[in-house]
Chain A
Amino acid sequence: MKFLTTTAITLAMTVGAAQAEGELVLYHWFEYIPQELLDKFTAETGINVTMDTYDSNEAMLASLKAGALGTYDVAVPGDYMVEIMIGEGMLDTIGDGELANKGNIAPQWANPSFDPGWKHSIPYQWGSTSFSVDTDTYSGDINTTDILFNPPEELKGKINMLDSQGEVLAMASLHLGIPQCSTDREQLKALNNMLQAAKENWASFNSDTAKEVLVSGDAAAGMIYDGFSAKAREEKASITYAFPTQGYVVWMDNVVLLKDAPNRDSAIKFMDFLLEPENIAAVSNFARYGNGLSGTAEFLDPALATLPEANPQPGAGAGAFIQVCDEATQAVYDQIWTNLKK
């Protein structure tokens, strides 16, 4: 705490006094990156960081399309959203050799399908999306998607869903055992009907309060990201993350270079900064997710390796990435989501 206060005071003074050597405007998920890391970046490079936050990939996309492109330098979309943004021409290309630390990317992430060869992005954090249950309220088996879509009596009316179309519809597809981006009309109808019925048992749609509602007891079960759930458990021990047998969503968030970035040089510096194992490990330690670099082990909190939220129990279903559908199919999924939210 004392360290925090001192850095904050120093920062406040330097920000006020010294003329900034550069700016960086970051569009980032909420409650994800530690402020101290941004302060460290500022201290090393003299670049001032301003950060805006969003609570879903779709909301970020909507905002950028609504005229915000050209005002941010970097954003942190998930895997499928990187693919969409590349398709929309919203990302700038990183030249060969521009990133000095690119070699630190772990071999297993060397060539991701959403951005082959990392031309527009760098790996950031990866994790899973499923749900957590307050086991003080419900002590039965939680490793099933029935918790969300066909809940036991104890949990009815006490469920919070993420306000995120991609993740909710992917989980629902896993629950029904149908493929994502299905074009089968019967499957889509079944998906729509199942969600309509399930909605009756949900209390709210909120992403940014996903942790808070569980900790405060406003919700007894809720969709959540694994690291966020780990933080919730630190505040309330009975919050247990589930790996349903039907499967769960896995994702990788990536730092992308936005088209028309007003401070492209700062953006490149920031990406290089995040490609240093020590720095990306700081994000992992804060947010409790895995990262995509090699050589981070010595910087990581040892507790991360054994997090129950990151280690599926035997018999858990498989993790699935969210898929990108074509326009006609997406229109139907959009309609299902609209039906759900209205």
Chain B
Amino acid sequence: MQTKNIMIVGVGGQGTLLASKLLGRILLSKGYDVKVSEVHGMSQRGGSVVTYVRYGDKVYSPVIDKGEADFIVSFEMLEAARWVEYLKQGGKMITNTQQVNPMPVIIGACEYPAELEAKIKNLGVDLDAFDALSLAEAAGNSKAVNIVLMGKLSKYFDFTEDEWLDAIEKSVPAKFLELNKKAFALGREA
């Protein structure tokens, strides 16, 4: 099998690392070779962050390059716009419609671009945009956006719901398990 590529993009602090941990765990359990590349250090402080997840028979590079991603899961609208160039022709983009203003916008040096959803779709991108933040809040905590998005992504894989839930159970602290299961279900239904 040719290597498949999933990118997870967002804003430092949004929980992208947990999402990649979950994906890595379930893909490895299915017998794939897997590589996950993360960003630590300075960029994590509210900067634009990206995690690469690659799987297949034999994976070499730990990173995903422009035009290579089969899936991009974005935690924020501007980040979806920033990274859309990494999507493969015919790839799928899933995004939370939440807007988090970057500092240049906050201080008025530039504006948050309008109508990003339409602009991304105009590139011919297969875009699935939805309000994951509200669903996370409905599940009980705004920080569960990562698991809501994984719920959404899970619809495009033929792994069973139990396999996903097992990976969640192994990736989150026990006291947040019920909340995350709920968040996953809401994302999967959305």
User: Do A and B come together as binding partners?
Assistant: no
B residues lining the A interface (CB < 8 Å) = none
A residues lining the B interface (CB < 8 Å) = none
